[in-house]
Amino acid sequence: MESVQAIKQRFEIIGNDPKLNRAIEKAIQVAPTDISVLVAGESGVGKENIPRIIHSLSHRKHGKYIAVNCGAIPEGTIDSELFGHEKGSFTGATNTREGYFEVADGGTIFLDEVGELPLTTQVRLLRVLENGEFIKVGSSHVQKTDVRIVAATNVNLFNAIEKGKFREDLYYRLSTVDIPLPPLRERKDDIHLLFRKFASDFAHKYKMPPLKLEESAVLVLQKFRWSGNIRQLRNVAEQISVLETNREISAATLQSYLPAEGSNLPSVIKDKKNDSDFSNEREILYKVLFDMKSDLHDLKKLTLELMENGSSKVQETNKNLITKIYGSKENDSEIDFEEEPRTALIAAQNKEEHYQENDDNYLFAETVEEEEEILRLEQKEIEMIKKSLEKNKGKRKAAADELGISERTLYRKIKQFDL
């Protein structure tokens, strides 16, 4: 069995933090078995290294190793990607296709961002974990596969389970062994080591002298939160390597490349809307539209009674309805129902037209149907999506966060509305 230090050198893992060493030890111990592993940690901590270590030290090392980013595959095609499909099973399926579980038979599959899997796909994955069986999309034939599954997530799966977005039984099947990776801010002694490694790599890449941090700059480096973890640190090291002519980096220079703490970086946004917020806004919009339609029906009912029964009787029996539609007597828009019914009808029609024109362009004709109301809601939804995409310069993740929906749901909406 290889040592932790040997594995670090082999996979170019920098750091001596005890939590990092323990994670590598677990990977080495679990590698010879076939049990499933769940790697947990924030985005950018290097979770992809653990499944590579496990695969390389297992008896499957000569088999296929396939890494799948579950969050990057649209919901409508992920089943086809993972399990394959039969010819003609859906529009565009011109040929039979093998899925990753069929291709990786005898090897290892790494499912990154497993928390993003749709619930229907989670059911299929659970069957693979339990008995190695799967069915292609559009097929009724059960196939067998022998794959080792290593999954990773940067979300709290317990919270996802409570919200009904992740199956509890699947969680326990995936997490036979949990391997947590610490965030960079908890590995303070490793931060400077990593920065020096990146600075050396970029000096070689861009053919320039390596950077050197002053002691005060090292302290700034270690105190910074690094919400984007190793990925963010690497990005900062590359920027400074390219842009700074002075290779002695002071604390002030380093600070100028670091975002202000609490700035609106995607990784630290706390106040984003959730799906329930978006649903509540939609319900409010529905209520407003149906209340408007109800008022128009009341207006038509009053006008019909006016034509059939005369103005005196109508005013006597419909006082509340008249007040609701036309307001009190102090209201300038009051209609005199002592006029001829024909005159009252014209006035009522004018009232209806005025009501429609000042209702934020939601115009309803007499024959408005529920389908038209739904269409208007879709138009509002399209408008919201377009504005959010424009505001976030086409960045779908940022737009999805602002709208309070998942990135996959936004992708589906963009495709649905042909945006």
Q: What is the pLDDT of residue 238?
A: 96
Pairwise CA distance, residues 372 & 363, whole Å: 10
- CB neighbours of 283 closer than 8 A, spacing ≥ 6? none
- pLDDT band, very low/low/confident/very high, at 358 (cuts 50, 70, 90): very low
Q: What is the pLDDT of residue 395?
A: 83
- pLDDT band, very low/low/confident/very high, at 389 (cuts 50, 70, 90): confident
Q: What is the DSSP pairing of strand 133-135 with strand 108-112?
A: unpaired
One DSSP character per residue, 157-223 reads: HHHHHHTTSS-HHHHHHHTSEEEE---GGG-HHHHHHHHHHHHHHHHHHHTSPPPEE-HHHHHHHHH
Sheet strands (E) in 294-366: none
pLDDT, tens digit, 9 for 90 and up, residues 118-132? 999 999 999 999 999
Q: What is the DSSP pairing of strand 133-135 with strand 142-144?
A: antiparallel
pLDDT, tens digit, 9 for 90 and up, residues 369-380? 555 555 566 777
- pLDDT band, very low/low/confident/very high, at 203 (cuts 50, 70, 90): very high
Nearest to 41 by CA among 49, 32, 53: 49
Share of the chain above pLDDT 70, in %: 73
Q: What is the pLDDT of residue 365?
A: 43
Radius of gyration of the chain (CA): 31
Q: What average pLDDT does the segment 315-343 reach? A: 53
Q: Which residue has the higher pLDDT, 397 or 100?
A: 100
pLDDT for residue 331 is more than 60: no
Q: What average pLDDT does the segment 398-411 reach? A: 80
pTM check: above 0.85: no
Q: What is the pLDDT of residue 159?
A: 94
pLDDT for residue 88 is more than 80: yes
Q: What average pLDDT does the segment 312-329 reach? A: 59
Q: What average pLDDT does the segment 87-110 reach? A: 93
pLDDT, tens digit, 9 for 90 and up, residues 11-50? 999 999 999 999 999 999 999 999 999 999 999 999 999 9
Q: What is the pLDDT of residue 322?
A: 61
CATH number belonging to domain 4-182: 3.40.50.300
Phi, psi of 148 (to 5 degrees): -95, 130
Q: What is the pLDDT of residue 207?
A: 93
Q: What b/e string do you get for 118-139 counting C-beta neighbours within 10 Å, with b at 16 or more?
A: beebbebbeebbeeeebbbbee
Share of the chain above pLDDT 90, in %: 59
pLDDT for residue 271 is more than 70: no
pLDDT for residue 141 is more than 90: yes
Q: Which residue has the higher pLDDT, 220 or 386?
A: 220
Segments making up each domain of the chain, as ranges = 4-182, 185-268, 277-357, 370-416
Starting at the edge strand found earlier in the chain, the sheet holding 37-40 runs 65-69, 108-112, 148-153, 37-40, 177-180
pLDDT for residue 70 is more than 50: yes
CATH topology identical between 4-182 and 185-268: no
Pairwise CA distance, residues 272 & 392, whole Å: 14
Q: Which residue has the higher pLDDT, 276 or 28?
A: 28
pLDDT, tens digit, 9 for 90 and up, residues 288-319? 666 676 767 777 776 766 666 665 655 666 66
Q: What average pLDDT does the segment 96-102 reach? A: 95
Q: What b/e string do you get for 83-97 counting C-beta neighbours within 10 Å, with b at 16 or more?
A: bbbbeebeeeeeeeb
Per mean pLDDT, which of 72-76, 262-266, 301-305, 405-409 is the most reliable?
Answer: 72-76
- 3-class DSSP assignment, residue 11: helix
pLDDT for residue 275 is more than 80: no
pLDDT for residue 416 is more than 90: no
Q: What average pLDDT does the segment 391-399 reach? A: 82
Which range (153-162, 327-336, 407-416) has the least confidence? 327-336
User: How is domain 185-268 classified at the architecture level of CATH?
Assistant: Orthogonal Bundle (1.10)
- pLDDT band, very low/low/confident/very high, at 332 (cuts 50, 70, 90): very low
Q: DSSP state, 39? A: E
pLDDT, tens digit, 9 for 90 and up, residues 105-120? 999 999 999 999 999 9
Q: What is the pLDDT of residue 285?
A: 67
